Amino acid sequence: MDSPPRNEALAALHQRYYADLVRLAFALTGDWGLAEELTQEAFVRARRRWGAIRRAESAPAYLRATVVNLARSSLRKRVKEVKAWLEVPAPRQTEPSVSTDVLRALARLPRRKRECVVLRYYLDLSEAETAATLGITVGTVKSQTARALQRLQPLLSDSSPALGGRPHGGESTP
């Protein structure tokens, strides 16, 4: 069972450093959601390794180093993900038409936003079906999709075919 001093020390560290660590992670990753996840993971690791932290004064440095290392790992993973998307061959004629430009633009989205857009517009799932597939709320699907479309808009010209062959902007032009 946890000792009260450890719990109190971790609670005090969380209270004092959480916001600073989230800002650090955001500065390294550019993604608030990921920054919060990395910071939470840093505290989980600090809790697990509390016995290895010899002096309480060293804990903030341990947390910062952990956030930096987690951010590096997530960026390496993201680079691999983007490279994989860039290597996606042009779709065969039997597949729904999705331009290479659209695939490359999708690759630049964070994972959750990309998932929402692909499920909603490529697979044509409803918001509820998308939420169920991803294990998130319908409200999250709506907000993530809206933000993703805002990010995609400057990446794609008006002449680019949208996902699933739909015209850009969701409406057909005569």
Residue 96 belongs to domain spanning: 88-165
Is residue 82 in a domain?
A: no
Whether 38 is covered by a domain: the verdict is yes
Residue after which a domain boundary falls, among 50, 77, 104: 77
Assess if residue 171 is contained within a domain: no
Domain count, the chain: 2
Within 10 Å of residue 107's Cβ, how many Cβ atoms?
17
99 class by beta-carbon count within 10 Å (0-12 exposed, 13-18 middle, 19+ buried): middle
Does residue 42 lie within any of the structural domains?
Answer: yes
Domain boundary among 47, 77, 107: 77
Q: Is residue 34 part of a domain?
A: yes
pLDDT value of position 83: 78
Cα Rg of the chain (Å, integer): 21
Pair (69, 8) in one structural domain: yes
Q: What is residue 156's DSSP assignment? A: S
| pLDDT tens across the length of the chain (174 residues) | 455 677 788 888 999 999 999 999 999 888 899 999 999 999 999 888 777 776 667 788 889 999 999 999 998 888 887 777 777 666 555 555 667 778 888 888 888 998 899 899 888 889 999 998 899 999 999 999 999 999 888 888 654 444 544 444 443 333
Specify the CATH number for the domain of residue 132: 1.10.10.10
pLDDT for the residue numbered 170: 42
- In a domain, residue 148? The reply is yes
- β-strand partners of 167: 161
| 83 within a domain of the structure (yes/no) | no
DSSP secondary structure string for all residues of 67-118:
HHHHHHHHHHHHHHHHHHHHTPPPPPTTSPP--HHHHHHHHTS-HHHHHHHI
Helices (H), 30-52: 32-48
In the prediction, which pLDDT does 57 show? 75
User: Token match 């918001």: residue?
Assistant: 127
pTM: 0.48
Instruction: Identify the sign of the CA torsion 138, 143, 109, 136.
Output: negative
